[in-house]
Amino acid sequence: MDNHSETTEALTPMAEPSTANEGPGESNTSEPSEGEKAPRNSSNYAETIGKILRSLTAFGLMGFSSVLYLQQLRGKWVDKFIIGNTLDIEARNLLLLTLVLGAGFAMVLPGAFLLWKRSQAAVERIQRLARILSPLVVVGAIPAIFRWKPWTEEPIGLSVAILVVGFILEKTLRLSLEAFPENRWRGLAHRLIAIRDRFPRLTHYAPLLIVVAGSLFYAIFMSVMALRLHWRLETRAFDLGGYQSLFVNALSGHPFRCPANVMPTGDWSSLKGHAEISIYALLPLYALYPRAETLLVIQSSLLGLAAIAQRQGRSSDAERYQQRALVADPRDAGAQAAALGNNDSGCLLYTSPSPRDRTRSRMPSSA
């Protein structure tokens, strides 16, 4: 008996850890060991550290790029630096110092905020802010790209620079727009709707006003640039001299006479080449200041005004065709073509250069 009791007491502690006899509704409430917790915590910690490092790096690049932009605005060293990496040692050291300080300052501010808050919410806010401001990483390259002089000998280099900057800008803009808070987009939409409802006439004419403003800007800007090139003797095209001769002779009573173009050079002789009848519609403007500069200004102005004429003539048609396309099934090319081609007031004509394009096109072909 003594041996039997000792054996029973020895086996009793061995049965306590077992969970084989627990019912289906019972759970094991024992806490996991520290070794089991470590992988999950270390993963979250590494993820948080990665977010912080990426955000601070983005802020550093933005600070670097912003200082580079400001440095290019204040100095004339950019052209020589682009052409031959030419910059004296003092200016180079100053440039490098300011770039490093700008990058460091841009990293210190969000870093100090993270040390102050010490929370996951602060990390998320800094990461979102870094994404929203990420397009600033390319501002440092903008002044250099828009300088024409250093790129005259390196058109391929300019093309590569524009390609790289455009690629980075596209990616950062996408990040910025995706990170922008959704409630802000909704708030902006509500404000725009409120403005539209409050000023219906303004919103009705707003597209036309924008087109007019853009047309005027184009006409003024291109006129100024054309005049600058002309005064620097860089308008060497043959056509400008030919049209100048046509206008001068028309103003002097010699219609369609252009000695530079056609031989013999009597009146009406230029009709053998081109019938430039429109010069008599522009002749009153040319008579105000009979110089080649007037022709350049007229050309730029007419090109700008063409946008207004196109917007006025096509807006109603575009809206009507858009509504028809929305009604049709977007997955059915035939329905789309029928909706766009069913026009009681006119006819749409689409052409295809080859049978292969006609088979791929979703529009009807005239072939």
> Of 212, 223, 204, 217, whose CA–CA distance to 307 is shortest?
212
> Of 153, 158, 129, 154, whose CA–CA distance to 141 is shortest?
158
pLDDT per residue as tens digits for the range 24-67: 444 444 444 444 444 446 778 888 999 999 999 999 999 999 99
Q: What is the mean pLDDT of residues 300-309?
A: 85
For all residues of the chain together, what is the average pLDDT?
Answer: 76
User: Token digits for 237?
Assistant: 């095209």
| pTM for this prediction | 0.52
More confident residue, 357 or 236: 236
Output the CA–CA distances (angstroms, integers) from residue 291 to 53, 221, 230, 240, in the order listed.
63, 19, 11, 11
> Of 249, 254, 239, whose CA–CA distance to 286 is shortest?
249
Q: What is the mean pLDDT of residues 149-177?
A: 90
> Of 69, 62, 224, whose CA–CA distance to 130 is shortest?
62
Q: What distance in Å separates the CA atoms of residue 332 and residue 288, rounded to the nearest whole number?
A: 58
> Of 113, 141, 112, whose CA–CA distance to 125 is shortest?
113
Q: What is the mean pLDDT of residues 256-277?
A: 73
The pLDDT, as a whole number, for residue 367 is 35
The pLDDT, as a whole number, for residue 277 is 83
